[in-house]
């Protein structure tokens, strides 16, 4: 009998071209390489200058998402790029993909979207695979039981040239859950709750595997939200072992694997999970029944609490600086504090289940006067589904600025969709760093339900107190 292994170790071993030694990192084979316009230009330049071709263009997927406008082209047919830099970046990227024979999703693609939303829809994020991208939130794909993580630009060049990557093995961390999330509490709340417990360095040098009853009960969308946020706990990646939910999602996605591939995946699934006796370097246990709808009050994702909680008094000068920046007072509730903006979108929470959750609360109601509400679907696929269900109409009637071109948008503001510095911005994205969503923007991270309820109330609101109108 071979020694028991974690899922991470199994995928690692199956992709090791040369094992790690004290002197040198391992060489890992990469099944899928995702490239976007922000982190790839220097990598393509390096290859071009050295005359090296892309080794496996058919295993590389190109996407434009960060700098892309979310409004459709004007009557003149022109797209409203934020600036020349954004336009040049997108154009150069598309040229690089074409020159290297890389299949890519440009304006013509009806599958375009945020890389971590649309690649799963292509059926490409599958149990047992290795996936990398020059983007920290690549951990999202781990929701499908694959090993996926972000890499730097030099590594992007390396993977383009060789389809392999130098890597040191990570430690393993199990997050074991008991119970299930309460009604009105979602995967984002679980992620923020977990990060508030372990801190932004709780997962450093580890790959997290989320397990247990609460995870098994989550939809694929919820698992993606959770794995997405792993990086905010400092982890290399997050993963959830594939199960029937995974297979059903893959079978129903817009470009499903073939029947033969699905059958093969089903056959391999019992092996593609951590062995019962596998030893993790670190373990954390969470009772999912303890998780409330969450909000952050500081300027890092670990500064979180229940939406009806009291903001802790600052203990350090950094705490004080964070609260000063946020214009939030320690020792007081956040509930009821007036807000300026809400944003529902990003690779964390722009999927159909997120939009359904927001629409259920916004139906037949209006966004409060003076609040700007921006909702951006994560992909064209999500947009089409939302339109088919009439969610776009619910949003528009509520007074939401509903966008029809998917992209990262106000998560990072690179495309010109920036949050106002006036008032709090309740955002379903993943980072609340100072100025991340625009100069002076004060981000309160939360799930779609808290964002939607707050938009209606014009104040930080508890979605559990709002009646759902069906
Ligand atoms: C621009 C990109 C490289 C960056 C990342 O790596 O995550 C961005 O997606 C982010 O969320 O900050
Ligand atoms: S949506 Fe935000 S977090 Fe996700 S890839 Fe885009 S910028 Fe990064």
Mean pLDDT by 10 residues, the chain (470 residues): 93 98 98 98 98 98 98 95 98 98 98 98 98 98 98 98 98 98 97 98 98 98 99 98 98 98 98 98 98 98 98 98 98 98 99 98 98 99 98 98 98 98 98 98 98 98 89
Q: Please tell me the distance between residue 235's alpha carbon and the centre of ligand 1 in angstroms.
A: 15
Q: What is the number of the ligand closest to the CA of 66?
A: 2
Give, to the nearest 10 degrees, the angle between helix 448-457 and helix 352-362.
30
Q: Which residues line ligand 2 (CB under 6 A)?
A: 66, 114, 116, 135, 137, 346-347, 408, 411-412, 429-430
Number of other CB atoms surrounding residue 421 within 10 Å? 15
Cβ neighbours of residue 320 under 8 Å, at least 6 residues apart? Answer: 314
The candidate with the shortest Cα–Cα distance to 58, out of 163, 212, 190, 165, is 163
**Which of 137, 432, 443 best tests ligand 1's pocket when mutated (most atoms within 8 Å of CB)?**
137
Q: Please tell me the distance between residue 276's alpha carbon and the centre of ligand 1 in angstroms.
A: 35
**Ligand 1 atom at shortest distance from the alpha carbon of 137:** 7
Residue 277 burial (C-beta neighbours within 10 Å; 0-12, 13-18, 19+): exposed
Return the pLDDT at 2.
Answer: 83
Report DSSP letters for 218-266, one per residue.
S-HHHHHHHHHHGGGGT-SEEE----HHHHHHHHHSSSPPPHHHHHHHH
Ligand 1 near 409 CB (within 6 A): no
Return the pLDDT at 470.
Answer: 64
Closest-CA residue, ligand 2 atom 4, reads: 347
**Which of 38, 231, 435 best tests ligand 1's pocket when mutated (most atoms within 8 Å of CB)?**
38
Question: Quick check: helix, strand or coil at residue 276?
Answer: coil
Q: What is the number of the ligand closest to the CA of 63?
A: 2
Edge-to-edge order in the sheet of strand 147-150:
104-105, 60-63, 32-36, 130-133, 147-150
Show the CA angle centred on residue 333, arms to residues 329 and 339, nearest 5°. Answer: 80
Answer whether 253's CB lies under 8 Å from 247's CB. no
The candidate with the shortest Cα–Cα distance to 284, out of 216, 199, 394, is 199
**Ligand 1 atom at shortest distance from the alpha carbon of 135:** 6
Cβ neighbours of residue 217 under 8 Å, at least 6 residues apart? Answer: 180, 181
**What is the spatial distance between Cα 315 and Cα 152, in angstroms, rounded to a whole number?**
35
**Phi (first) and psi of residue 454, to 5 degrees:** -70, -35
Answer whether 469's CB lies under 8 Å from 456's CB. no
Ligand 1 near 153 CB (within 6 A): no
Q: Please tell me the distance between residue 408's alpha carbon and the centre of ligand 1 in angstroms.
A: 10
Q: Please tell me the distance between residue 178's alpha carbon and the centre of ligand 2 in angstroms.
A: 30
Closest-CA residue, ligand 2 atom 6, reads: 408
Element housing 295 (H / E):
strand 294-296
Closest-CA residue, ligand 1 atom 1, reads: 38
Report DSSP letters for 396-444, one per residue.
HHHT-EE-SS-S-GGGT-TTS----SSSEEEESSS---TTTTSTT-EEE
Q: Please tell me the distance between residue 408's alpha carbon and the centre of ligand 2 in angstroms.
A: 5
Return the pLDDT at 1.
Answer: 65
Ligand 1 near 412 CB (within 6 A): yes
């Amino acid at each position: 009998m071979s020694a028991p292994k974690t899922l991470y170790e199994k995928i690692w071993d199956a992709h090791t071209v040369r094992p790690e030694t004290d002197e040198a990192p391992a060489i890992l084979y990469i099944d899928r390489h995702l490239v976007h316009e922000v982190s790839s230009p220097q990598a393509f330049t390096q290859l071009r200058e050295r005359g090296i071709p892309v080794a496996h263009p058919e295993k590389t997927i190109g996407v434009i998402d960060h700098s892309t406008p979310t409004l459709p082209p004007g009557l003149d047919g022109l797209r409203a790029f934020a600036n020349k830099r954004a336009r040049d970046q997108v154009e150069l990227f598309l040229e690089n993909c074409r020159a290297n024979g890389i299949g890519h999703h440009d304006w013509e693609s009806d599958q375009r979207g945020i890389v971590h939303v649309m690649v799963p829809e292509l059926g490409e994020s599958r149990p047992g695979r290795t996936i990398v991208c020059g983007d920290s939130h690549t951990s999202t794909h781990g929701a499908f039981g694959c090993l996926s993580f972000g890499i730097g630009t030099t590594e992007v060049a390396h993977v383009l040239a060789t389809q392999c990557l130098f890597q040191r093995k990570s430690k393993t961390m199990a997050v074991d859950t008991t119970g299930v999330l309460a009604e009105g509490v979602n995967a984002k709340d679980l992620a923020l709750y977990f990060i508030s417990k372990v801190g932004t360095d709780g997962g450093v040098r580890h790959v997290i595997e989320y397990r247990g009853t609460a995870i098994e009960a989550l939809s694929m969308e919820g698992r993606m939200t959770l794995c997405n946020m792993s990086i905010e706990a400092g982890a290399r990646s997050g993963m959830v072992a594939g199960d029937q939910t995974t297979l059903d999602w893959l079978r129903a996605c817009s470009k499903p694997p073939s029947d033969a591939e699905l059958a093969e995946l089903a056959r391999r699934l019992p092996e593609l999970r951590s062995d019962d006796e596998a030893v993790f370097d670190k373990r954390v246990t969470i009772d999912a029944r303890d998780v409330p709808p969450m909000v952050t009050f500081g300027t890092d994702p670990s500064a979180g609490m229940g939406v009806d909680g009291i903001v802790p008094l600052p203990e350090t000068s950094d705490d004080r600086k964070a609260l000063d920046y946020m214009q939030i007072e320690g020792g007081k509730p956040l509930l009821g504090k007036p807000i300026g903006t809400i944003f529902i979108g990003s690779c964390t929470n722009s999927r159909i289940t997120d939009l359904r959750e927001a629409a259920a609360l916004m139906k037949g109601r209006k966004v409060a006067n003076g609040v700007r509400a921006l909702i951006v679907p994560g992909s064209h696929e999500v947009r089409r589904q939302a339109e088919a269900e009439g969610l776009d109409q619910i949003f528009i009637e509520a007074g939401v600025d509903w966008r029809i071109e998917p992209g990262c948008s106000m998560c990072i503001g690179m495309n010109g969709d920036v949050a106002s510095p006036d008032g709090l911005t309740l955002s379903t994205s993943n980072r609340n760093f100072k100025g991340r969503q625009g100069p002076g923007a004060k981000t309160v991270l939360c799930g779609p339900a808290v964002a939607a309820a707050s938009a209606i109330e014009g104040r930080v609101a508890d979605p559990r107190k709002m009646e759902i109108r069906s």
